[in-house]
């Protein structure tokens, strides 16, 4: 029996989930997953950095912060044609959502019209649209919604208590304000965080509690494993135990049963077995394509093979945009070929 999602999780309840024996936790997460989703479908999004580097924020994990010398090549806001041609490629390769990220504190009035044009153009291609541009005002969220934005990504990143150790130039409550504007505008919320930043187990509990106790659960919850970037203050932080990463996915699945939980950054550093366990724990979304924003992601061909070996198929797009719900050739042709050659 499926129970209505809760928004009143207490720390001690979440801690007890994390403390369950691994098999008990995964069994429970998988049971909940099956009540709400096709257990063999995974949503696939492709990411593009539309404006790279020289960010005024001081996020200690990030290659794009202007506060650290990471050797990253900076780029201006991309031209509309470049973004649309990348989106076309993503669609041809089988992605159903196109996520565009900019290294900004917030979008400027000068750049905003081009951003809106990107949303309109990507949507016209029949892809779901997602943007992550930093802090937004209520007026900006309304304009994005009008342009056809489906999702806005803005992560809480970590617990309220650990947050100041990671970012000092933007406050936790400001993040919640942006999420509230996004929700009020009728845009779907994509919000999660990063683990493996030297946080304590209680911070992973705190992050999930904040997300699960939002008035409405984010439709998409990216769980990123820190990609260590040379030159940032976190470049030498200890690795998180891989089982604790899988536990994080499983507990997110239990707390937010109807949300897509994304196995997000860090897959390039994971083996296939680890990713398979993350899918079993309830992850049902990935970034697909050989680049995240500035770092490597597994090759699309490797992901197709992994899906085929696991009998996983990409989830069809569900959105109010042009092609609503229909995946037509050539979308997914590659996945289909990989599945066939793996004997499915
Ligand atoms: N600048 C915008 C912002 O921060 O809201 C959007 C882009 S930002 C890169 C999006 C998210 O990516 C961050 O909030 C963080 O959770 C994640 N991220 C960034 N760098 C990462 C890294 N090195 N490893 C794992 N996740 C990372
Ligand atoms: C999210 O939660 N993870 C993505 C996306 N939202 C924008 C970004 C991951 C970035 C990983 C490091 C990089 O490539 O720079
Ligand atoms: Fe800037 Fe976003 Fe990186 Fe923070 S995570 S430094 S806001 S690009």
Residue to substitute in 52, 153, 293, 294 for testing ligand 2 pocket (most ligand atoms within 8 angstroms of CB)? 293
Cα–Cα distances in angstroms (integers) from residue 129 to residues 95, 98, 291, in the given order: 11, 5, 18
Q: Which atom of ligand 2 is nearest to the CA of 287?
A: 4
Q: State how far the Cα of 201 lies from the Cα of 189, in Å rounded to an integer.
A: 25
Q: Is the pLDDT of residue 5 over 90?
A: no
pLDDT at 84 over 50: yes
Residue 326: pLDDT band by 50, 70, 90 thresholds? very low
pLDDT of residue 328: 40
**pLDDT tens across 274-302, in order?**
999 999 999 999 999 989 999 999 998 89
Query: Band of the pLDDT at 137, cuts 50, 70, 90?
Result: confident
Specify the pLDDT at position 335. 59
Instruction: Say whether 278 is catalytic.
Output: no
Catalytic residue among 28, 97, 99, 175: 99
Respond yes or no: is residue 130 known to be catalytic.
Answer: yes
The set of protein residues with a Cβ atom below 6 angstroms from ligand 1 is 61-62, 101, 103-104, 132, 134, 154-155, 157, 193-194, 224, 226-227, 229, 265, 293
Residue with tokens 């696991």: 310
pLDDT band at 50 (very low <50, low <70, confident <90, very high): very high
Give yes or no for residue 330 having a pLDDT over 50: no
pLDDT at 102 exceeding the cut of 70: yes
Residue 323 is predicted with a pLDDT of: 40
Residue 188 has pLDDT above 70, yes or no: yes
Mean pLDDT of the chain: 91
Has 6 been annotated as catalytic? no
Share of the chain above pLDDT 70, in %: 92
Q: Is the pLDDT of residue 338 over 60?
A: no
**Which pLDDT does position 320 carry in this prediction?**
47
Tell me which of 293 and 316 has the higher pLDDT.
Answer: 293
| Average pLDDT of the residues in 120-147 | 94
Q: What is the pLDDT of residue 336?
A: 56
Q: Look at residue 337 and tell me whether its pLDDT is greater than 80.
A: no
Whose atoms come closest to the Cα of 52: which ligand?
A: 3
pLDDT at 325 over 90: no
Rounded Cα–Cα distance for residues 228 and 235 (Å): 5
What confidence category does residue 322 fall into, taking pLDDT thresholds of 50, 70 and 90?
A: very low
* Catalytic (active site) residue 262: yes
pLDDT surpasses 60 at 332: no
Confidence (pLDDT) at 321: 44
């Amino acid at each position: 029996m499926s129970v209505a999602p809760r928004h009143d999780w207490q720390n001690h309840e979440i801690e007890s989930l994390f403390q369950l024996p691994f098999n008990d936790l995964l069994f429970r997460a998988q049971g909940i997953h099956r009540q709400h989703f096709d257990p063999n479908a995974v949503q696939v999004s492709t990411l593009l950095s539309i404006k790279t580097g020289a960010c005024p924020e001081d996020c200690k994990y990030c290659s794009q912060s202007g506060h650290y010398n990471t050797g990253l090549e900076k780029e201006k806001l991309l031209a509309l044609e470049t973004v649309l041609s990348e989106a076309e490629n993503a669609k041809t390769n089988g992605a159903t959502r196109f996520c565009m990220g900019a290294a900004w504190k917030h979008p400027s009035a000068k750049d905003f019209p081009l951003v809106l044009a990107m949303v309109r153009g990507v949507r016209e291609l029949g892809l779901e649209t997602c943007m992550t541009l930093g802090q937004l005002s209520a007026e900006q969220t309304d304009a994005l919604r009008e342009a056809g934005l489906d999702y806005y990504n803005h992560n809480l990143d970590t617990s309220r208590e650990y947050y100041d150790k990671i970012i000092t130039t933007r406050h936790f409550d400001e993040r919640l304000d942006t999420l509230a504007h996004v929700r009020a505008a009728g845009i779907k919320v994509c919000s999660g965080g990063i683990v493996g930043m030297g946080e304590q187990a209680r911070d992973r509990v705190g992050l999930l509690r904040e997300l699960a106790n939002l008035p409405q659960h984010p439709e998409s919850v990216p769980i990123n494993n820190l990609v260590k970037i040379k030159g940032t203050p976190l470049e030498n932080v200890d690795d998180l135990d891989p089982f604790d990463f899988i536990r994080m996915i499983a507990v997110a699945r239990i707390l937010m049963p109807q949300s897509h939980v994304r196995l997000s950054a860090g897959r390039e550093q994971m083996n296939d077995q680890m990713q398979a366990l993350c899918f079993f724990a309830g992850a049902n979304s990935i970034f697909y394509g050989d680049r995240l924003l500035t770092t490597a992601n597994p090759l699309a061909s490797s992901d197709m093979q992994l899906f085929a070996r696991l009998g996983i198929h990409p989830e069809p797009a569900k959105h109010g945009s042009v092609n609503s719900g229909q995946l037509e050739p050539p979308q997914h042709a590659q996945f289909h070929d990989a599945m066939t050659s793996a004997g499915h």
